[in-house]
Amino acid sequence: MIRVVADTNIFISALMFGGLPGSFLDLALLRSILLVTSPQLLDELDEKLLLKFEVSSKDADAIRSKLEDCALVVIPNVALEVIRDDPDDNRVLECAVTGRADYIVSGDRHLLKLSAYEGIPIITVGQFMDAVKAGP
Query: Which of 92, 72, 71 has the alpha carbon at shortest distance from 82?
Result: 92
Domain boundaries, the chain: 3-134
Q: First-to-last CA distance in the chain?
A: 11
pLDDT digits (tens), the chain, 136 positions:
999 999 999 999 999 999 999 999 999 999 999 999 999 999 999 999 999 999 999 999 999 999 999 999 999 998 999 998 888 999 999 999 999 999 999 999 999 999 999 999 999 999 999 988 876 6
pTM > 0.85: yes or no: yes
Tens of pLDDT, residue by residue over 29-63, are 999 999 999 999 999 999 999 999 999 999 999 99
CATH homologous superfamily of 3-134 equals 5'-nuclease (3.40.50.1010)
Side-chain-side CA neighbours of 98 within 13 Å: the count stands at 20
Across the chain, mean pLDDT equals 95
